[in-house]
Structure 1
Amino acid sequence: MLRTERRGDVLALSLDRPDRLNAAPPALFDAIGAALAERGDARAVLIAGEGRAFCSGADISGGDVGPDTVHRALVAHYNPVMLALADLPIPVVSAVRGAAAGIGCSLALAADFCVASESAYFLHAFVNIGMVPDGGASWMLPRLIGRARAAEMMMLGERVGAAKALDWGMIHKVVADDALDAEAWALAERLAAGPSVALGLMRRALHAGFDSDYAAALAREAQDQRSARATLDGEEGGRAFFEKRPPRFLGR
């Protein structure tokens, strides 16, 4: 259901239900959460889907989609993983081919960098079944693309293709379908070779910056700068700058 691979400093997680377009039951999200918790010394995470889709949405087991069942699944399984991703101290890349729908859309966009193939599309079609987007979509989308476009995506329930998602600023890059895996891996490996502590501080500051005032952002940056400078990578970066050579970061 979830394939994991460690390649160098990158932990790759691949949703592996291609016959269901990687529709995600609660157990699959539990597996993602466990893999993140047990990531060891990985310095970047890459999330992808097997086959022709990234993830076509949630799959509540047994077909019971009553209000209490849906609520329990979100609170006990899906939401904790979305929070764990937000709190992760290392960068996250998602590689999207085909559908990223419902909770799959939220999962893809929770990454720091979403790389999409030309066939990719992003969809929150809950309005068509009288339900609402989840996985943090109502928080995430307005911050990524603005309120008007978020309303279009959520309230009209129409597909947003890869090119449009890029134009909206919702994703990082669009590549040819056959180049997706190589592009996403290269980006994840680049991030994994960077100053891991500083990158973790950056991603947390980006999240906090959505909801803090200017003075609080300045104070946080000053504290983060002190923390980053005190790391071995901070020392190495300073030495490399004065020695006019590329830095060799160790992730600590």
Structure 2
Amino acid sequence: MTSDSEAASASLMPPSAQRRRARRGPWVFVRDLLIVILVAVLVSAMVKAFLVRSFYIPSGSMENTLQINDRILVDELTPTWTGYQRGDVVVFEDPGGWLPVTPVIVSSPIAEGVDWLLSQVGLSVSDSEDHLVKRVIGVAGDHVVCCNAIGQLTVNGVPLEEPYIKLAEGQTSADPYEFDIVVPDDSLWVMGDNRDHSRDSRYNQDQPTNGFVPVDNVVGRAFLITWPLDRFGVISSYPEVFAGVPDPDTAE
């Protein structure tokens, strides 16, 4: 609110000064708005770089845990301190040969700039199709085998009861794809929850990393579904499934 003294001072200003003051008003607002947007982008970029990132799910390989077009948040910070655990759902860059080669779409500099800006504030997730999302089954040193007589995976000799697996009607276990591996250092063995429709570690053993995912390729641990709202919720790592699995150096 303008005080009487301010109003009186304004009335004494020459007409040219009053016109300049009036013209300056909208520009001050635009300047302040741009500063607010810039600060928001910088803060969001720092959060994205060091704390969390947003991704969307482009395929059904993790159904029913994750559905196509779900949007998820990925914790980048915590795993740098705790490491990755069996059961974690992780997002990672293609280690090489897991994803088909996609054509490069050339867009205008303006469109690319807008997409970059939106990605910094979490409204665009343009790199989701260049990443994969799977569940960690084995960590460094683990001996993972498929399958025992009733179709269960075993980790360090312990069979897994996996409630998160999507099974077709009438199935009691996923179709077996036999393998017998030991996870090397700084690597993970990952599989999709939609076990019969997931091109995961099992199917990439002829690729450069032999089906293992280098930890350096992992963006982080998916922990929350944010969209659609009716699916909002925490992404479970099912610690009870792996509770009885011994460490590799103590397994028989």
**Superposition TM-score tier, normalisation by shorter sequence:** under 0.3
Normalization by structure 1: what TM-score? 0.22
Normalization by structure 2: what TM-score? 0.22
Of the two, which has the highest radius of gyration?
Answer: 2
Higher relative contact order (CA 8 A, sep 6+): 2
